[in-house]
């Protein structure tokens, strides 16, 4: 760090204070937002942090003038936070930042309009990001990471400030999304429910009035929640909304959406084009799609095992595993087609031993009972029309559309 004179430090701090006060006086939310972005590492804030480390008595500067001191509750802890952040002391930085944020919320509460929403967004974002980093640091030091939890409750408070009627409500969705990120990270997704309820049940504010950015994020996370619940139609609707509204420039975001949308679509019988998977680098789904197309149970199982960790972490493993039935269906359909080619008159009678043999070719060892059970399940779940004659061990297929397509409907339970 280059030498920094006291005068220069003083100037920088005063400059910041002036900009801060000006931003508030002119209700310039964007400028104010920039002044809060601790972790953005912008040059101006970095230089301010250096200045603060040189000029230790910034509080005196704040108290010096009424102009500054009225926001002392916000600025003083923010300075401390910035200072600590610059010195790499993330725990202190977070603590001070939360204090500053609390003070800012108090101020924000008193402002009639939502001009400062941008600044609030930055604060909500910063507090989450800082908390995540602090938790990582704490965890690596063997301490219990709890800051993200604290950030969650803080954001819940912020949400309370915004969720009511009035012009500030438009900001509620952003905070909700930050909360989602925290809850998903912490694995406490059940906490999302209350927030979702207050967003979706409020009739005073149309969902479409929220900023698109927030809507997409919101739909993405709620869609993920539906995936967890294996409520595929709802998940499809939400994730599709997110996909269609997501900016095409945000490839990473589109990929994240597709990561969940593809399994959902697969579950309801809709296969993606290979090009799509390659465009968004979702090759882990390639083999699964292929297995579905070919009725290759082995491929499906190997694909699942190959990416088991990844699928488990993203939470789609169980969804993909359920595709097995569709693979069986595809396999039986193939057998049926072959039989039809051979002898159309007897095509609708499928011997169990044929199926067992087919599975054996796939190197899947299943005894007759198990295959019989699978067949029964396929019929039971309406993936196959017909019945199974136990005595003769024959599957009797309906002559009309023996393998109905899902067509966007989930497999019956």
Binding site for another protein (CB under 8 A): 63, 69-70, 72, 187, 189, 228-230, 309, 312-313, 315, 317-318, 321-322, 324-325, 369-370, 372-380, 387-391, 396
Least Å distance between CB 313 and another protein? 6
Cβ closer to another protein: 163 or 379? 379
Contact 82, 52 (CB under 8 A): yes
C-alpha distances in angstroms, 376 versus 92, 262, 303, 384, 400? 62, 28, 26, 9, 19
Least Å distance between CB 183 and another protein? 12
Cβ closer to another protein: 85 or 388? 388
Q: Alpha helix (H) ranges present in 141-247?
A: 147-162, 172-186, 192-200, 212-228, 232-245
Least Å distance between CB 142 and another protein? 13
Cβ closer to another protein: 205 or 317? 317
Least Å distance between CB 19 and another protein? 21
Cβ closer to another protein: 210 or 221? 221
Cβ closer to another protein: 251 or 309? 309
Contact 68, 17 (CB under 8 A): yes
Least Å distance between CB 377 and another protein? 5
Cβ closer to another protein: 208 or 401? 401
Q: Are strands 349-351 and 386-389 parallel, antiparallel or unpaired?
A: unpaired
Distant-in-sequence contacts of 42-50, Cβ < 8 A, 24+ apart: 44/16, 45/82, 46/86, 47/12, 48/12, 48/13, 48/16, 48/82, 49/82, 49/83, 49/85, 49/86, 50/1, 50/4, 50/9, 50/86
Least Å distance between CB 31 and another protein? 24
């Amino acid at each position: 760090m280059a030498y920094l004179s006291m005068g220069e430090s003083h100037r920088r701090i005063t400059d910041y204070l002036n900009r801060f006060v000006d931003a508030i006086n002119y209700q310039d939310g964007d400028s104010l937002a920039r002044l809060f972005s601790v972790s953005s590492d912008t040059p101006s804030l970095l230089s301010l942090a250096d200045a603060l480390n040189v000029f230790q008595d910034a509080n005196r500067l704040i108290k010096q003038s009424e102009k500054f001191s009225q926001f002392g509750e916000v600025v003083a802890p923010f300075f401390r936070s910035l200072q600590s952040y610059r010195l790499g002391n993330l725990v202190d930085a977070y603590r001070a930042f939360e204090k500053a944020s609390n003070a800012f919320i108090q101020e924000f509460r008193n402002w009639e309009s939502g001009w400062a929403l941008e600044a609030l967004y930055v604060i909500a974002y910063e507090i989450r990001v800082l908390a995540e980093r602090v938790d990582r640091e704490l965890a690596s030091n063997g301490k219990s990471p709890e800051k993200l939890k604290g950030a969650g409750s803080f954001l819940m408070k912020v949400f309370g400030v915004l969720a009511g009627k009035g012009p500030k409500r438009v900001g509620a969705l952003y905070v909700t999304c930050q909360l989602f990120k925290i809850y998903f990270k912490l694995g406490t997704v059940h906490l999302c429910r209350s927030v979702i309820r207050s967003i979706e049940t409020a009739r005073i504010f149309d969902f479409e009035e929220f900023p698109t950015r927030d809507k997409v994020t919101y739909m993405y996370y709620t869609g993920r929640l539906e995936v967890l619940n294996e409520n595929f139609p709802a998940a499809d609707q939400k994730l599709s909304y997110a996909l269609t509204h997501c900016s095409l420039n945000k490839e990473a975001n589109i990929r994240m959406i597709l990561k969940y949308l593809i399994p959902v679509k697969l579950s309801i019988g809709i296969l993606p084009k290979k090009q799509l998977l390659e465009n968004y680098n979702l090759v882990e789904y390639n083999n699964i799609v292929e297995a579905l197309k070919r009725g290759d149970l082995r491929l499906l199982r190997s694909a699942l095992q190959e990416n088991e960790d990844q699928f488990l972490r993203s939470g789609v493993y169980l969804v993909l595993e359920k595709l097995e039935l569709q693979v069986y269906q595809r396999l039986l359909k193939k057998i049926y087609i072959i039989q039809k080619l051979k002898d159309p008159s007897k095509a609708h009678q499928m011997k169990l031993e044929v199926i067992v043999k087919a599975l054996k070719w796939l190197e899947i060892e299943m005894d007759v009972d198990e295959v019989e059970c699978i067949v029964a399940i396929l019929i039971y779940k309406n993936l196959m029309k017909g019945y199974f004659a136990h005595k003769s061990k024959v599957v009797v297929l309906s002559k009309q559309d023996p393998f109905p397509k899902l067509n966007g409907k989930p497999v019956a339970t």
